[in-house]
């Protein structure tokens, strides 16, 4: 692995995996999506303006790859996200509940929620990454917030 | 960062790539590099075949490919192997390719592109073309026999070509990394397809030739063939 790619994996690997898992809800497919994104980065001759540019590009490619993985027939026969969550160690049970509630949201809501709450992107930035209109992102975020507020104690109280 | 974001991150930070992810990514990258190298090698093979055709055409002195000698451009001299003998030719850039003229006034054209590390096509220099032509292995029909040429080597391969029309030759030449030559579709009329590789094809049995052992003294004197075949092309003398 090149030094640059190794640094990219160290810096963004888990972040990309979290985004891919949010879309796929399946660990093997999520890792495959991350691998696809990193291979695309390796092949790419694109000139990036900044670290932030690299991160946004990688997230976009990862999310697209993860969506493709979800559509494949093979995906239907793999480990469920509930099984994978059972293998994770959550010290605080509310952390598991939160992940479970988010992963039960429809896919189009999940990734918007993830990019906002995990990556801290604003609606305009999410719209750019996902290739959606800003209004669509706002609507999806609003709907998701309502759902999360209903199911998660103390959510949206600020 | 608000409290909801903190809660969300705390939960999803439990997700990590598996321990063998890097190993699998390395394996994929290695395959990627091999595929890229394979493409490059195949492409060079095509370039060499095309260049060799130009050389043969010139041998027959087909008027149509003779270029004007007064075309502007930078002239340079290179050495190329033809029919087991080294010739010094004068080369002149001619748009995407080059024209060459040997000491006897025979002329021809050749050209080619090569992939760089980013996959871009780069026009080869005359020296690069000469190097690739000189690392090429060719078959020619002469007096009903199929003769193999490689640099100064000549070997009669007529009886060593399989009934299926394949011939695998490995030439021990430390100066050339692509010395596994796979000839396919060799036909009695002398046409064939050839590719060169840096490793043997799985299951193929190679005829071993050593550049140091074979010399021009062991082979017939170089003569201009009556019927020359290069690459996938057949060039006749018009009979």
DSSP annotation of B96 reads: T
Last residue of a domain, one of A43, A60, A79: A79
| Predicted pLDDT of residue A153 | 87
Q: SS3 for B198?
A: coil
Q: What is the CATH number of the domain that holds A120?
A: 1.10.10.10
> Would residue A120 count as lying in a domain?
yes
Is residue A64 located within the same domain as residue A21?
yes
Does residue A105 belong to the interface with chain B, where contact is any CB pair within 8 Å?
A: no
Number of domains within chain A: 2
> Would residue A136 count as lying in a domain?
yes
Is residue A75 located within the same domain as residue A93?
no
A36 CB neighbours in chain B (<8 A) are none
Is residue A74 located within the same domain as residue A129?
no
Is residue A93 located within the same domain as residue A63?
no
Under the banding of pLDDT at 50, 70 and 90, the label for residue B48 is: very low
- Percent of chain B surpassing pLDDT 90: 12
Is residue A3 located within the same domain as residue A73?
yes
B96-116 residue pLDDT tens: 567 777 777 777 766 666 555
A130-146 residue pLDDT tens: 988 999 999 999 999 99
Is residue A98 located within the same domain as residue A69?
no
The arithmetic mean of pLDDT across residues A85-96, rounded, is 88
DSSP annotation of B86 reads: E
Most confident listed range (A70-79, A115-124, B112-121): A115-124
Is residue A100 located within the same domain as residue A69?
no
**CA–CA separation, B179 vs A42, rounded Å?**
30
Does residue A90 belong to the interface with chain B, where contact is any CB pair within 8 Å?
A: yes
Higher pLDDT, A69 or A113: A113
Smallest Cα distance from A133 to chain B, Å: 23
Chain centre distance of CA B37? 13
> Would residue A84 count as lying in a domain?
no
Is residue A47 located within the same domain as residue A67?
yes
Last residue of a domain, one of A54, A79, A104: A79
The arithmetic mean of pLDDT across residues B17-29, rounded, is 91
Does residue A120 belong to the interface with chain B, where contact is any CB pair within 8 Å?
A: yes
Cβ burial of B193 (10 Å; 0-12, 13-18, 19+) is middle
Is residue A59 located within the same domain as residue A122?
no
Indicate the range of A23-27, B8-12, B40-44, B148-152 predicted with least confidence: B40-44
Q: Which of A91, A84, A108, A148 is nearest to B16 (CA)?
A: A84
Q: Name all contacts of B95-100 with Cβ < 8 Å and 24+ positions apart.
A: B96/B123, B98/B126, B98/B129, B99/B67, B99/B71, B100/B58
B213 phi and psi angles, rounded to 5 deg? -85, -35
**CA–CA separation, B189 vs B227, rounded Å?**
10
**CA–CA separation, B208 vs B156, rounded Å?**
13
CB contact under 8 A, A98 and B25: no
Bridge-partner residues for B170, per DSSP?
A: B180, B208
The arithmetic mean of pLDDT across residues B50-67, rounded, is 30
Higher pLDDT, B156 or B221: B156
Query: Which residue of chain B is at minimal alpha-carbon distance from A113?
Result: B8
B190 phi and psi angles, rounded to 5 deg? 100, 5
Query: Which residue of chain B is at minimal alpha-carbon distance from A13?
Result: B17
Is residue A23 located within the same domain as residue A58?
yes
Higher pLDDT, B203 or A110: A110
| Predicted pLDDT of residue B96 | 59
Categorise residue B179: left if φ over 0, alpha if ψ from -120 to 50, beta otherwise: alpha
CB atoms within 10 A of CB B39: 12
Does residue A27 belong to the interface with chain B, where contact is any CB pair within 8 Å?
A: yes
Last residue of a domain, one of A79, A103, A118: A79
B39 pLDDT exceeds 60? no
Cβ burial of B205 (10 Å; 0-12, 13-18, 19+) is exposed
Q: Which residues contact A75 (CB under 8 A, 6 or more apart)?
A: A24, A26, A29, A69
Angle between the N-to-C axes of helices A27-43 and A51-71, in degrees from 0 to 180, rounded to the nearest 10 = 130
A22 pLDDT exceeds 50? yes
| Predicted pLDDT of residue B15 | 94
Chain centre distance of CA A6? 21
- Percent of chain A surpassing pLDDT 90: 58
- Give the pairing type, strands B153-156 and B145-150: antiparallel
B181 pLDDT exceeds 80? yes
Higher pLDDT, A158 or A124: A124
Under the banding of pLDDT at 50, 70 and 90, the label for residue A121 is: very high
Under the banding of pLDDT at 50, 70 and 90, the label for residue A104 is: very high
Tokens of A40: 């695309």
Is residue A58 located within the same domain as residue A121?
no
Is residue A102 located within the same domain as residue A73?
no
**CA–CA separation, B6 vs A98, rounded Å?**
12
| Predicted pLDDT of residue B117 | 54
> Would residue A94 count as lying in a domain?
yes
Under the banding of pLDDT at 50, 70 and 90, the label for residue B67 is: very low
B132-149 residue pLDDT tens: 777 888 888 777 788 888
Query: Which residue of chain B is at minimal alpha-carbon distance from A36?
Result: B25
Under the banding of pLDDT at 50, 70 and 90, the label for residue A55 is: very high
Tokens of A136: 């669509």
Angle between the N-to-C axes of helices A3-24 and A107-117, in degrees from 0 to 180, rounded to the nearest 10 = 130
**CA–CA separation, B167 vs B145, rounded Å?**
14
**CA–CA separation, B230 vs B54, rounded Å?**
9
Smallest Cα distance from B162 to chain A, Å: 41
* C-alpha distance from residue B210 to each of A77, B35, B95, B151, B173 (Å): 55, 29, 38, 11, 7
The arithmetic mean of pLDDT across residues B26-50, rounded, is 60
CB atoms within 10 A of CB B32: 13
| Predicted pLDDT of residue A141 | 94
> Would residue A158 count as lying in a domain?
no
B118 CB neighbours in chain A (<8 A) are 45
- Percent of chain B surpassing pLDDT 70: 61
Does residue A31 belong to the interface with chain B, where contact is any CB pair within 8 Å?
A: yes
Query: Which residue of chain A is at minimal alpha-carbon distance from B31?
Result: A39
Higher pLDDT, B173 or B37: B173
Q: Which residue out of A32, A117, A119, A145 would a mutagenesis test of the B interface target, given it has the greatest number of B Cβ atoms within 10 Å?
A: A117
Tell me the residue range of the domain where A3 lies.
1-79
| Predicted pLDDT of residue B168 | 93
A77-86 residue pLDDT tens: 566 788 888 8
* C-alpha distance from residue A82 to each of A78, A101, B186 (Å): 12, 11, 60
Q: What is the CATH number of the domain that holds A13?
A: 1.10.1740
Most confident listed range (A34-38, B58-62, B118-122, B162-166): A34-38
């Amino acid at each position: 692995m090149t030094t640059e790619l190794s640094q990219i994996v160290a810096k963004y690997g888990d972040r990309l995996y979290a985004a891919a898992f949010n879309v796929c809800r399946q660990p093997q497919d999520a890792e495959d999506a991350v691998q696809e994104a990193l291979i695309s980065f390796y092949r790419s001759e694109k000139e990036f303006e900044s670290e932030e540019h690299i991160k946004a590009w990688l997230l976009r490619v990862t999310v697209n790859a993860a969506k493709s993985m979800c559509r494949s027939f093979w995906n239907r026969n793999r480990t469920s996200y509930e099984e994978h969550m059972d293998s994770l160690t959550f010290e605080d049970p509310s952390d598991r509940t939160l992940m479970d509630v988010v992963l039960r949201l429809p896919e189009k809501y999940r990734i918007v929620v993830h990019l906002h709450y995990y990556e801290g992107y604003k609606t305009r930035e999410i719209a750019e990454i996902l290739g959606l209109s800003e209004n669509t992102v706002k609507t999806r975020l609003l709907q998701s917030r309502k759902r999360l507020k209903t199911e998660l104690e103390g959510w949206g109280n600020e | 960062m608000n409290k909801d974001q903190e809660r969300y991150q705390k939960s999803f930070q439990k997700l990590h790539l598996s321990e063998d992810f890097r190993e699998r990514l390395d394996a994929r990258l290695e395959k990627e590099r091999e595929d890229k190298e394979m493409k490059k090698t195949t492409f060079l093979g095509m370039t060499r075949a095309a260049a060799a055709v130009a050389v043969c055409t010139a041998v027959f002195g087909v008027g149509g490919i003779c270029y004007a000698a007064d075309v502007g451009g930078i002239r340079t001299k290179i050495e190329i192997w033809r029919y087991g003998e080294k010739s010094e030719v004068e080369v002149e850039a001619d748009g995407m390719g080059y024209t060459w003229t040997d000491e006897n006034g025979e002329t021809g054209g050749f050209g080619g592109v090569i992939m760089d590390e980013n996959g871009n096509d780069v026009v080869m220099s005359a020296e690069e073309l000469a190097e690739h032509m000189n690392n090429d292995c060719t078959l020619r029909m002469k007096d009903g026999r199929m003769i193999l040429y490689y640099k100064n080597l000549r070997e009669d391969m007529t009886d060593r070509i399989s009934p299926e029309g394949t011939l695998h030759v490995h030439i021990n030449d430390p100066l050339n990394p692509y010395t596994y030559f796979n000839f396919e579709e060799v036909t009695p009329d002398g046409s064939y397809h050839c590719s060169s590789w840096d490793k043997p094809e799985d299951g193929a049995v190679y005829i071993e030739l050593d550049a140091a052992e074979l010399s021009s003294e062991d082979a017939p004197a170089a003569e201009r063939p009556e019927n020359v075949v290069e690459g996938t092309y057949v060039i006749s003398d018009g009979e």
